[in-house]
Amino acid sequence: MDTDADPVAPSDASSATSPPDNGQAPESTTPEPDRAGPAVVNTRRSGAEERASPPGDTLARLVRAVLPWPSRPHSPYEKLVRVHRSIHPKANLPLLHHAHHVAHKMHDGQVRRSGEPYISHPIAVARILAELGMDTTTLVAALLHDTVEDTTCTLEALRKDFGDSVAHLVDGVTKLDGVFFGASAEAETIRKLIIAAGEDVRVIVIKLADRLHNMRTLRFKSRPSQVRKAQATRDVLVPLADRLGIHVFKRELEDLVLATLDPEAYECIDRHVNAQPSRAGYLRTVMGELACELRAARVHATVTDRPRHYWSIYSDMQSSPSRQPHDMPRIVIRVAGDMTDCYAALGAVHGLYRPAPGRFKDFIATPKFNLYQSLHTTVIGPDNEPLEVLVRTEEMHHTAEYGVVAQYRGRDLSEPHEKAASSRTELDWLRRLLDWQRETSDSSEFLASLHSDLSSGQIQIFTSGGDQIMLPTGATPVDLAYAISTPTGDRLIGAYVNGRLATVTAMLDDGDVVEIISASGNDYPGPSREWLSAVRTPQAQRQINQWYDGRDADSGDGESGALTSKIQAGRLAVSMALRRRGRALAGDAPLINLARKLGYPDAEALFVAITETRLRAEEIAEQLIASVDRTAPDSADRA
């Protein structure tokens, strides 16, 4: 459970045999499907009718008597059931009703900060997942996701009642007790979430839905709590939604974060978006012209407007000299055929409007790490106004919206979960996180590695053997070598990038073809300490440090080696934070001055504090930039 709620201990929950009417949960903005019908209706029978009932009917009646059939046709829970049945007509509703009954019973007497009954939260989370198209097991776990953490219910009781899958999902999203884990509770909870997601990615999906509802109701928290929650959402959960390709979550979470952290910018963008009366007419003209051109090219397609969400506009504002919002018109063409029709549609677009040089990207031939596929082009539309056009198939559009969970929409729920689960090869980033947690015993180091990886963009690198490897933006041949294997990284002596010899610390670009040159035999120099200031992946950083830790231990300098590793890790974290801002340090003078200002004797002590998470590298980078920007432009230590 997120700390958005303040549950009160249940008042004799064990005595509750049937739930009262549900508390009202905030309504979702997603319209209910038209074909959603009423759920099963509870009926009462007379004694004579009961005595005349055959044994099978009596059993059904007893089951109905135990299950908490909703008493109000338009209650939040009933709306959840209707949405789920509209997408999954064969859903296991008795199991869902039973989960609702248990959740209502265990949370009886608890309330949220808003004053609503606490049960409104798990129902709202399950409703979000139902609209996403998730299966019944996921909805059951969503209804129960806070019972182990906030009530007397145990994980073993859930496993006995609902099976291993539900118990695993609930356990995966249950936070660890801060009393027992202390300062490492947050890091260990995230590690636990990642491990559980390695077995079943639905753990992260439930966590995202849980956070989305809490962000929707964040106004009931104090201002400091709102900021902390929004920052944590921005740093970890939004990137996780992006990695999973669940853009319906990512867009709303980003906008909610923006509204919380920078309400003035949010209002500015909102005024800009709503003050464009001519935009609708312009888009109708463009879509009409494109539809005619596609018909002439015999491409069956749907042309729709695709407005950008507020965070996307805000991100462009930050890099714009004017710092004013600008929303380029954007159109999506969804073709009814296969990918060859996408290229035919692209030809029709470029035949109608002149393409802007250097603004074409083919994510169909080379999908993104989160399975996203589309053709992106920018053209000069009517009135010489730039127009962004996305071209994709209907299936690609579905995946672009729902990512790895697209498989659950419309799936026959009688199929085993494993048949529908995403291929592990499609989630390289998750496998990488699992490798980190296995090799990293320190929870703070794991959390720092996670933040570093999630905060970076991704590029796709091709090896000389034709393999595709995803690396963070700004990665080097050193990162690639260690991504291939530890021995390959340790033996690295050179690299060819696109057929040309390059330094092993050179930054790679998206689409580069890299050939790693490795030393042969047992006599090789091993990694250089200087690589630590250039590598971008925690995996490469960790392996280089382990190489030197082993040699420090062999020389009897193990404690000194551990301190050296912390200093190197802290320096690397600051360097990476500066590089993400397009800056670098030419000398240590600004670091030393900042360290003394913060009460540390030298820069090394500052680096250790960063490694031990007493300071954040991102904040240090911002302070360094602010300090050197106040000095002369020709300063030798300019960041």
Q: Which domains does the chain have, with CATH numbers?
A: 13-221 (1.10.3210.10), 270-407 (3.30.460.10), 438-528 (3.10.20.30)
pLDDT at 298: 94
Name the pLDDT band for 438 (thresholds 50, 70, 90): low
Q: How far apart are CA 500 and CA 290, in angstroms?
A: 43
Q: What percent of the chain has pLDDT over 70?
A: 77
Q: Which of 108, 131, 135, 150 is catalytic?
A: 150
pLDDT at 181: 47
DSSP string of 403-423, one letter each residue: GGGGGGTT--TTS-HHHHSPP
Residue 624 and residue 590 in contact, taking contact as beta carbons nearer than 8 Å: yes
β-strands 375-380, 301-305: how paired? unpaired
Q: Which of 149, 262, 316, 327 is catalytic?
A: 149
pLDDT at 212: 96
pLDDT at 439: 64
List, in order, residues 6 or more apart from 327 with CB less than 8 Å away. Answer: 272, 273, 276, 307, 308, 313
Name the pLDDT band for 66 (thresholds 50, 70, 90): very low
Q: At residue 598, does pLDDT exceed 80?
A: yes
Residue 102 and residue 207 in contact, taking contact as beta carbons nearer than 8 Å: no
Q: At residue 566, does pLDDT exceed 90?
A: no
Minimum mean pLDDT range among 29-43, 188-202, 519-533: 29-43
pLDDT at 420: 40
Lookup: tokens for 443: 């929870």
Name the pLDDT band for 184 (thresholds 50, 70, 90): low
Q: Which long-range CB contacts under 8 A does 352-357 form with residues at least 24 apart?
A: 352/289, 352/290, 352/293, 352/379, 353/379, 353/380, 353/381, 353/387, 354/379, 354/380, 355/379, 355/380, 356/380, 356/386
**SS3 of residue 260 by DSSP:** helix
Would you give the DSSP letter of residue 368?
A: -
Q: At residue 332, does pLDDT exceed 60?
A: yes
Q: How far apart are CA 225 and CA 574, in angstroms?
A: 27
Q: At residue 22, does pLDDT exceed 50?
A: no
pLDDT at 310: 93
- Ordered alpha helix ranges (H), 329-476: 339-352, 394-402, 417-420, 428-439, 443-454
What are the angstrom distances between the C-alpha of 530 and each of 12, 13, 211, 252, 470?
63, 61, 40, 41, 23
Lookup: tokens for 52: 């005349």
Q: Of 511 and 568, which is predicted with more confidence?
A: 511
pLDDT at 7: 58
Residue 316 and residue 412 in contact, taking contact as beta carbons nearer than 8 Å: no
How many C-alpha atoms does 459 have within 13 Å on its Cβ side? 20
Name the pLDDT band for 377 (thresholds 50, 70, 90): very high
Q: Check if 149 is active-site.
A: yes
Would you give the DSSP letter of residue 221?
A: S
pLDDT at 124: 96
Name the pLDDT band for 436 (thresholds 50, 70, 90): low
pLDDT at 168: 93
| pLDDT tens-digit readout, 250-292 | 999 999 999 999 999 999 999 888 877 667 888 999 999 999 9
Q: At residue 405, does pLDDT exceed 50?
A: yes
Q: Of 379 and 71, which is predicted with more confidence?
A: 379
Q: Of 206 and 576, which is predicted with more confidence?
A: 206
Q: At residue 52, does pLDDT exceed 70?
A: no
pLDDT at 346: 96
Instruction: Among 18-22, 128-132, 458-462, 613-617, name the most confident range.
Output: 128-132
Q: At residue 38, does pLDDT exceed 50?
A: no
Q: What is the mean pLDDT of residues 211-235?
A: 92
Q: At residue 72, does pLDDT exceed 90?
A: no
Computed over every residue of the chain, the mean pLDDT equals 79
Other beta carbons within 10 angstroms of residue 609's beta carbon come to 19
β-strands 330-335, 301-305: how paired? antiparallel
Lookup: tokens for 420: 């529908």
Q: Which long-range CB contacts under 8 A does 9-18 form with residues at least 24 apart?
A: 9/109, 9/110, 10/106, 10/107, 10/108, 10/109, 10/110, 10/151, 10/152, 11/108, 11/109, 12/109, 13/105, 13/106, 13/107, 13/108, 13/109, 13/151, 13/152, 16/104, 16/105, 16/108, 18/68, 18/101
pLDDT at 553: 53
Minimum mean pLDDT range among 196-210, 322-336, 352-366, 405-419: 405-419
Q: At residue 203, does pLDDT exceed 70?
A: yes
Name the pLDDT band for 606 (thresholds 50, 70, 90): confident
Nearest residue to 110 (alpha-carbon basis) of 216, 181, 36, 19: 19
Q: What is the mean pLDDT of residues 540-569?
A: 68
Name the pLDDT band for 634 (thresholds 50, 70, 90): very low
**SS3 of residue 457 by DSSP:** coil
